[in-house]
Amino acid sequence: MGLEKAVFAGNETQRARLKALVERGIDYSRELGGGWTIGVALAHMAFWDRRAAGLLRRWDVEGSLPDPVDENLLNATLLPEWSVIDPERAAELAVAAAELVDAAIKALDADKADAIVMIGNQFLVDRSGHRREHLDQIERALGS
């Protein structure tokens, strides 16, 4: 079956949205709540997209995925590091990570992509939802 064109299109749409937001030259220090700023949200997005790209590479080569992680604990643990990353660098990292994972998704063998979805790891190949969530949050904070 292979990945649906909608997955590729959704990823591409949200990646383009991210890139456009970064190119606007926004205030990365704007607070989002809970100790998060726009810069932190972008560093967070970069981490999760890079993690997905790494997992997809491992799946493609070794056929193994990691044990589930406690995402809330991991986010809370990484918040201090994300907070000290230069926000403009975090924005660059977010765009680069989105490009990296989207390329890994497109390169993934169709049978392996289907298997990922079948075992409940759709989020590894459909990155659009995670990006949309944070981009919506950022745009609300910016009033746009």
Work out whether the CA dihedral 133, 36, 121, 128 comes out positive or negative.
Answer: positive
Strands 31-33 and 36-37: antiparallel
Backbone angles phi, psi at 33, to 5 degrees: 105, 155
Q: 25: helix, coil or strand?
A: coil
Q: Give the pLDDT score at 120.
A: 82
Contact in structure between 115 and 123 (CB atoms under 8 Å): no
Of the chain, the percentage scoring pLDDT greater than 70 comes to: 97
Backbone angles phi, psi at 36, to 5 degrees: -100, 140
9-29 per-position pLDDT tens digit? 999 999 999 999 999 989 999
Report the CATH superfamily, name and number, of domain 5-142.
dinb family like domain (1.20.120.450)
